[in-house]
Amino acid sequence: MPRFAAFITAGLRSASNATRLPWHARTVTLICVGADGVVSQAKTVSEKRDLLDMVTGRDLVLVAWPGQWSQDIYVVDDRKAARTALDTAP
C-alpha cells in the first residue's frame, strides 16, 4: 500500500478550467507528488512533456503559475489535454 493512497483536491482549481494557462512559460512549473511520496518538478517544455508522459492516475500533478498578485496553483485533472497543450505552439 503506497503512503498516499488518494489525494483530495477539492480546494484547488482545475487546470482544465483555466482559460489561458501558459503551459510553455518557464515561470509555469509542474509539480508531481507520486503515490510513493516522491516529489518532482518540471520547468522546461521538454521536462513538462516527460513528466506528463511518466505520471500515472495515482500521482498528483499540480501546475504553479505566478500571477500578478499571488501564486496560482491548479490541479492537472486532464493530463492528456495538458500534454496536448505542450505540443501546440504557444
Low-confidence ranges of the chain (pLDDT < 50): 1-2
CA dihedral 27, 28, 32, 33 (to 10 degrees): 80
Residue with cell 512533456: 49
pLDDT tens readout for residues 1-22: 345 557 889 899 999 999 889 9
pLDDT given for residue 35 in this prediction:
86
Domain ranges of the chain: 13-87
Coil, helix or strand for 9?
Answer: coil
Joined together, the cell numbers standing for residue 75 give: 490541479
pLDDT given for residue 26 in this prediction:
92
pTM for the predicted model, two decimal places: 0.88
